Amino acid sequence: MRTPPLTVAVLAIALCVVGCSRNTVHSDQSKLAPGQVKVALVPGGPHPYFQPWKNAMQQAKTDFKLGDVTFNETSAWNQTTQNSVLKSLAAQGFNAFGVFGVSPDTINSTFGDLRKQGFHLASLGSCPAGDTDNADFCLATDVRQAAYKAAKSAIEAMGGAGNLVHLTGNKTDSNTTRRIQGVQQAIDETGGKVKLIQTVTDIDTDLQTAQKAVADLIAAKGSQINGIVTTAYNPAVASAAAVKSAGLPVKVVAIDDDPTILGDIKDGSVAASVVQNPVGQAYIGSYALSKLAGGCTMKTSGQVIDSGSFVATLDNVDTYDTQRQQQTSQLRKDFDDKYLICS
């Protein structure tokens, strides 16, 4: 009599349940010379914020004599695609990764998988959500603190009282939650003098989406708004342009230092911008990854390190970069003195 394949499969599984043992995989983390270290920097997708990573990475390759570096932005803001990109790069011989995870809520699992296989990981620009980080370290802007600084600057520009609007990114991103908390903290500290009249999320997809949202906001509530704090790039550019063209006395605080935003600070249409340190993230991130691949270990695995955020205003718009470069140098020193253990 012929045995149905299903019966065979069920019997095989039953047999395995009774008699199988589970293999434990051990990762191989041998010490690598700098020339053997291949660093891949993988942003969540194409975004102006990551463009400075390209030059910083090349600089790191030259300065630290790394074997190879690459920049891959094909993840297209999709975590599944990013996982696939990371594993493809690993299959091609890259052995250290600086990653801006698409989803802070799920990137930790990917970090865990890759570390189990012996790769070195840095979460750059964004830390995983929750209390633990499965990467070796996280070098990123403290987004809650940056949003707090931005809101404080907006409140100061508004004269300490009035109505504020917060424009930000994807609501399903836990970083957005942290930004909302940072803005709320600054507002709470005013003791009711400043009121948050609206938080607009999900408008950092592209500039067109942000422009439409800002136009609708100004049409509906333009006369009530005293200040706009933006914690995402596209809303920042859109709100600066809209306020300027409408001629409204609204104080705008932007984010990052795109040439457009710096120009807006100089012409007074933007009161301030909270700039981050993407160069430091890529440069120092690559440096630390090469040290880890060379046999160093982190004193605290998953250590969260603030890469710094700085308020650029009309007073310091030409000099804030010096402060940022000092922060980058300090970060390297901190890695050597405080965060890494090298025998």
Residues forming contacts to another protein in the complex (CB under 8 A) are 15-16, 19-23, 25, 45-46, 70, 72-74, 76, 78-81, 83-85, 87-93, 103, 105-106, 108-109, 112-113, 116-117, 129-130, 170-174, 177
| Run of H or E residues at 23 | none
What is the DSSP code string of 172-239?
TSHHHHHHHHHHHHHHHTTTTSEEEEEEE-S--S-HHHHHHHHHHHHHHHTTT--EEEE-SHHHHHHH
Please, which residue, 116 or 299, has the CB nearer to another protein?
Answer: 116
- Sequence-ordered list of residues with C-beta below 8 angstroms from that of 221, at least 6 positions apart, any chain: 165, 197, 198
Task: Locate 165 and state its tokens.
Answer: 């609007």
d(C-alpha 13, C-alpha 58), whole Å? 51
Please, which residue, 98 or 280, has the CB nearer to another protein?
Answer: 98
Write out 75-129 in H/E/C secondary structure.
Answer: CCCCHHHHHHHHHHHHHCCCCEEEECCCCCCCHHHHHHHHHHCCCEEEEECCCCC
**CB 173 → another protein: shortest distance, Å?**
7
**CB 78 → another protein: shortest distance, Å?**
5
**CB 110 → another protein: shortest distance, Å?**
8
205, 173 Cβ separation under 8 angstroms: no
Please, which residue, 23 or 30, has the CB nearer to another protein?
Answer: 23
What is the DSSP pairing of strand 251-255 with strand 68-71?
unpaired
**CB 23 → another protein: shortest distance, Å?**
5
Please, which residue, 34 or 118, has the CB nearer to another protein?
Answer: 118
- Sequence-ordered list of residues with C-beta below 8 angstroms from that of 308, at least 6 positions apart, any chain: 141, 276, 277, 280, 324, 327, 331
**CB 46 → another protein: shortest distance, Å?**
5
d(C-alpha 140, C-alpha 45), whole Å? 17
52, 279 Cβ separation under 8 angstroms: yes
**CB 135 → another protein: shortest distance, Å?**
14
Please, which residue, 70 or 313, has the CB nearer to another protein?
Answer: 70
Other C-beta atoms closer than 10 Å to the C-beta of 66 total: 23
**CB 116 → another protein: shortest distance, Å?**
8
Please, which residue, 78 or 184, has the CB nearer to another protein?
Answer: 78
Residues forming beta bridges with residue 120, ordered by sequence position:
96
317, 264 Cβ separation under 8 angstroms: no
Please, which residue, 101 or 285, has the CB nearer to another protein?
Answer: 101
Please, which residue, 125 or 308, has the CB nearer to another protein?
Answer: 125
**CB 161 → another protein: shortest distance, Å?**
29
d(C-alpha 4, C-alpha 238), whole Å? 65
